[in-house]
Amino acid sequence: MSSKKQPVGYLPDERPPIVELIPFALQQIVVMFPATVLVALITGFHVSTTIFASGLATLCFILITGKKIPLYYGSSFSYIAAIASIMGAEAFSSYSLNDKISVAQFGIVMSGFISIIAGLLIQRTGRKTIDKILPPTVTGSIAIIIGLSLAANAMTNAASIPKDLAADVVTNAGNMAWVISLITLFSTILYSVYLKGRLSQLPILFGLLTGYVVAVIIGLVTGIPFINFNTIEAQGIFNLPEFTFPKPSLAAVAAIMPIAIATIPESTAHVYQLDIYVNDLAKKKGSSKRYNIADKLGLNLVGDGIGDIVSGAIGGPAGTNYGENISAMALSKVFSVPVLLTAAVITMVISCFTPLINIVYSIPSSVIGGLSIYLFGVIAAQGITIMMDSKVDMFKSKNLAVIAIILVIGLGGSFGFENSMIPMFGMEFPAIASAAVVGIVLNLLLSIGEKSEEA
């Protein structure tokens, strides 16, 4: 009888049986894939290499952190503008694509050392220091803007139609894209809310399959090719990714390396989110074990830095631990590290087999958009969870000021300016990074004298 009351879910040190392990791993790949591939497409990096680097960096991250932190490493949006500035710089205009990537790689590798140094400092000084610099008002607000800044990507993907359609088909294709994305969205929501038992842990995968089937049916009825299995054409089934190696460049270091500082609050928010959700599941499962994930923030940053070095060394973009994967874990209650290890290995295998890559590529953008509307919203909602869990006083002027400034700079900068870069004083600043830095500085300034007031 008691087993019926046992909550469904897996803690970080628990391994599901193989029949569940593979679907759970595929679900993690599904939520990671769109954003990771999109970064490669925007920056001009090789897609197969980017996918392989994501899996390899995740393996390294999990092993270096002692299999204690269930996070997946994927390409980061925060670095897009900096990497694109190097790839499109006039100084490198005569370079081949691979040579441009090699120059950018050097900046990516060096940015990894920033994360490692920050992680080691936090390990040395303890969590109190980071709590002072990055309180819930900052980390929660940053999680909110990360999720909501991606809202436009989700909506445009939801409305996306196949390329090169005849003019008289475009309108109908747009309508059908919305049908696919909305069915994907609401089926995923219904699965996450109403499925019970083991099935409740796979709402995203089921939502994707539902949207995919709808896209197939619509394609057969209307003739609109939402499904395409020939995105990548290559000789042979097995093709290794095209690896490139870093070339020293001060320009790349100056453009890319500082972005690592701005990603620290993002990683902090993710670690705190995990700590809340994992320990909530442990409590519900009746486990007396305490998973001190939040106390491993320094270790997480070291692992994040190693991930950047590994990814950058073979030709992948800079990355971070993914909020989308945390959302998937929060919805499915599966925080198992073995699941993430399996997902990383499968990702590396996919990158080497052209048919497998084409199967993943065949997922219509409208399906991905439907999933993203939900997932990106969950990332933002988790920011609210961080502040609620820490009982942030929303009537306190200091807290309101910090939250307000981060939200407006982050969201206003993301949607108000091209490439989410805020033009100011003859320079351009990345919106989310700027919001994080201003929020941190403002919080520290407003904290001066606070202890004496409390005393």
List of E strands, 255-357: 319-321
pTM assigned to the model: 0.71
Q: Could you give the CA distance from residue 81 to residue 43 in angstroms, rounded to a whole number?
A: 8
Q: Is the model's pLDDT at 2 over the cut of 70?
A: no
Helices 47-64 + 337-352 axis angle, to 10: 150
Q: Is the model's pLDDT at 400 over the cut of 90?
A: yes
- Other CB atoms within 10 A of residue 120 CB: 15
pLDDT of residue 307: 95
Within-domain flag for 2: no
Amino acid at 239: N
User: What confidence tier does 409 reach under pLDDT thresholds 50, 70, 90?
Assistant: very high
pLDDT of residue 452: 45
Q: Could you give the CA distance from residue 193 to residue 44 in angstroms, rounded to a whole number?
A: 39
pLDDT of residue 441: 92
CB-based contact 11:184 (threshold 8 Å) = no
Q: Could you give the CA distance from residue 316 to residue 445 in angstroms, rounded to a whole number?
A: 38
**Residue whose tokens read 């520290």:** 444
Q: pLDDT of 205-246, one tens digit each?
A: 888 899 999 999 999 999 899 988 776 666 678 888 889 999
The helix, strand and coil proportions of the chain, stated in percent and rounded to the nearest 5, come to: 75, 5, 25
Contacts 24+ apart (CB under 8 A), 172-177: 172/222, 172/224, 173/222, 173/224, 176/218, 176/222, 176/224, 176/226, 177/226, 177/364, 177/365, 177/366
pLDDT of residue 453: 43
Q: Could you give the CA distance from residue 251 to residue 104 in angstroms, rounded to a whole number?
A: 9
User: CB-based burial of residue 258 (10 Å sphere; 0-12 exposed, 13-18 middle, 19+ buried)?
Assistant: middle
Average pLDDT, stretch 114-126? 88
Q: Is 404 helix (H, G, I), strand (E, B) or coil?
A: helix
The tokens describing 326, both together, are 């945390």
Q: Could you give the CA distance from residue 256 to residue 113 in angstroms, rounded to a whole number?
A: 12
Query: 324 vs 36, 42, 114, 120, 418, CA distance in Å?
Result: 11, 19, 24, 26, 24
pLDDT of residue 5: 54
User: What confidence tier does 187 reach under pLDDT thresholds 50, 70, 90?
Assistant: very high
Within-domain flag for 259: yes
Within-domain flag for 234: no
Within-domain flag for 103: yes
Within-domain flag for 440: no
Q: pLDDT of 435-452, one tens digit each?
A: 888 998 999 999 887 764
For the chain, the residue count is: 455
Q: How many domains does the chain have?
A: 1
pLDDT of residue 30: 81
Tell me which of 165 and 379 has the higher pLDDT. Answer: 165
Average pLDDT, stretch 309-331? 89
Domain containing 256 equals 9-159+180-207+247-383
Within-domain flag for 172: no
Within-domain flag for 424: no
